[in-house]
Amino acid sequence: MIDVVGTVKRWWLNLIKHIDFPLLLITLAIMAIGLATVHSATIDGNQRMMSQAGNMGVAMVIMWFVSRLAPQKLMNFAIPLYILGLILLIGVFLFGVKINGAKRWLPLGFTRIQPSEIMKIAMPLMLAWYFHKFEATLKLRHYFGAALLLFVPFALIAKQPDLGTALLVGAAGCYVIFLAGLPWKIIVGLVAAAGAAAPLLWGMMHDYQRKRIMTLIDPTTDPLGAGYHIIQSTIAIGSGGPVGKGYLNGTQTHLEFIPEKHTDFIFAVYSEEWGLMGNALLLFLYTLLIGRGMMIASAASTPFSRLLAGAITLGFFTYAFINMGMVSGILPVVGVPLPFMSYGGTALVTLFLGIGILMSIHTHRMLVKK
């Protein structure tokens, strides 16, 4: 007799072989909150919850595939993906289409793509590979090489202008360089230099970027323009109070005072309805996610995988911190979605690529050790 139960069990075990359950459960918890909040944010208009659930499904299938690729295979992708991203970014610079004053999209005839999104993964991948390769003979000049690999795409994205994405890509690269062991002396020197160069940077900024920073310092200067977002989202959070107004009861949300409420400003919706209690829960879940990611990085078996895992994990942190910071009015509005919460398929795919890579690194570590 054929062992049906055994076959199914083997099949099932093989299927979930590379799934890291702590990571999966944490992201599922955050996504459940996200779905409920998308529902609340879009209940008065075009309902987006089902569509977002679909996005999640697709993204998780991608995660599953990626988790099954061994880190060595991932390493093979580093250079081609980075070069592809770079070529596309140059393409955007030369032939990009302008939407809302920013040149971010590359038309491909049938569709258009946003190459800066690729760089969010390609950048840490490339630099992790780079430091892995030179790990044994690491010299100061290698850090310069890494800085160059980081700077070119960063500048191209910042030039579009897309400050939010440039920041995320730049941060991902910096994390790899830092974790790879950039000497403290240089770090201190760079921080000091950056402080000195701040006025210079101010001069290089676009008017709208300066305006964002000015309205951050005092949003009331432009209550109907750039400051409106911050004022309204701050009111939403503040009026939520310790326990919130209750699910679907946020007045700021449902009276249309919060702009982009199912995408970049979804945190305002959540915070208004669930209050400080809800915020604490969400911060806790993000802390768990980052903690799990760091555990994976720490336990990783090769320099490549530990650097990549560290950078991806810190990338999640950066997303979450910048988004919640901007919505609550302590950081400038730079257009960064809240991970696993904000509506949008592209961002979810990128995020789950990251989760998939983390799972791959973790579930393949023993094989390498052998």
Q: Residue 335: which region, alpha, beta or left (left: phi > 0; alpha: psi -120 to 50)?
A: left
Backbone φ and ψ for 156, nearest 5 degrees, come out as -60, -40
CB of 135 to another protein, least distance (A): 7
CB of 332 to another protein, least distance (A): 15
Identity of the residue, 24 or 290, whose beta carbon is nearer to another protein in the bound complex: 290
- Least Cα distance to 166 among 152, 145, 146, 187 occurs for 152
CB of 153 to another protein, least distance (A): 22
**346 Cβ partners below 8 Å, 6+ apart?**
114, 117
Identity of the residue, 257 or 352, whose beta carbon is nearer to another protein in the bound complex: 257
Identity of the residue, 27 or 302, whose beta carbon is nearer to another protein in the bound complex: 302
CB of 42 to another protein, least distance (A): 10
CB of 181 to another protein, least distance (A): 6
Identity of the residue, 169 or 307, whose beta carbon is nearer to another protein in the bound complex: 307
Identity of the residue, 76 or 287, whose beta carbon is nearer to another protein in the bound complex: 287
Cα–Cα separations (whole angstroms), residue 290 to 29, 59, 95, 296, 340: 14, 19, 38, 10, 13
Identity of the residue, 209 or 239, whose beta carbon is nearer to another protein in the bound complex: 239
Identity of the residue, 40 or 116, whose beta carbon is nearer to another protein in the bound complex: 40
Identity of the residue, 179 or 355, whose beta carbon is nearer to another protein in the bound complex: 179
In contact, 273 and 248? CB cutoff 8 Å: yes
CB of 20 to another protein, least distance (A): 18
Joined together, the tokens standing for residue 291 give 């903690």
CB of 279 to another protein, least distance (A): 5
Where does this chain bind another protein (CB under 8 A)?
Answer: 44-47, 135-136, 175, 178-179, 181, 232, 234-242, 249, 251-252, 254-257, 271, 275-276, 279-280, 283, 286-287, 290-291, 294, 297-298, 302-303, 306-307, 310, 314, 317, 321, 324-325, 328-330
Identity of the residue, 80 or 246, whose beta carbon is nearer to another protein in the bound complex: 246
CB of 156 to another protein, least distance (A): 27
CB of 276 to another protein, least distance (A): 4
CB of 7 to another protein, least distance (A): 40
Identity of the residue, 89 or 179, whose beta carbon is nearer to another protein in the bound complex: 179
- Least Cα distance to 120 among 58, 63, 172 occurs for 172
